[in-house]
């Protein structure tokens, strides 16, 4: 198989271990990059993969699970970008309001039950 501009293929084997030390899952992922092998080290590639999953776990996972963004009916031509912008904005507000040590779910629930307090926190004091 010829992959244009492919310089490196990385294989990552992952094991998820539970708190009881039992193996919960195992998988293998492959990553393809056009990086020049002389410009990156194995630990540098590992950081790139981790950074990729940090974005996936902190942004896309939330948008896919909470707002079901991938299957939403607004992903029609012309509306998809608007919907994505609104969900990005909502997620940004959640992260701004998220206290240290509190999950995004807890923050969202607090907003849900105290919308007036949230708006006042954001500077809408006339409410």
Contact 63, 69 (CB under 8 A): yes
Residue 75 has a pLDDT of 59
Work out the number of other CB atoms within 10 angstroms of the CB of residue 123: 7
SS3 58: helix
Q: Where are the domains of the chain?
A: 1-40, 57-127
Q: pTM score, two decimals?
A: 0.50
Rounded distance between C-alpha atoms, residue 24 and residue 43, angstroms:
26
Dihedral sign for Cα 94, 95, 100, 101, please. Answer: positive
pLDDT class for 89, splitting at 50, 70, 90? Answer: confident
User: CA-to-CA distance for 73 and 67, rounded, in angstroms?
Assistant: 11
């Amino acid at each position: 198989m010829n992959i244009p501009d492919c310089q490196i293929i990385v294989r990552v084997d992952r094991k998820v271990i539970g708190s009881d030390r039992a193996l919960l899952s195992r998988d293998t992922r492959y990553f393809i990059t056009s990086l020049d092998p002389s410009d990156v080290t194995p630990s540098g590639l590992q950081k790139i993969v981790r950074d990729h999953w940090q974005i996936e776990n902190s942004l896309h996972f939330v948008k896919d699970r909470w707002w079901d963004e991938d299957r939403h009916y607004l992903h029609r031509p012309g509306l998809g970008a608007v919907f994505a912008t609104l969900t990005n904005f909502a997620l940004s507000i959640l992260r701004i309001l998220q206290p240290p040590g509190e999950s995004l779910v807890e923050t969202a629930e607090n907003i849900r039950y105290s919308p007036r307090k949230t708006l006042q926190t954001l500077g809408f004091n006339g409410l």
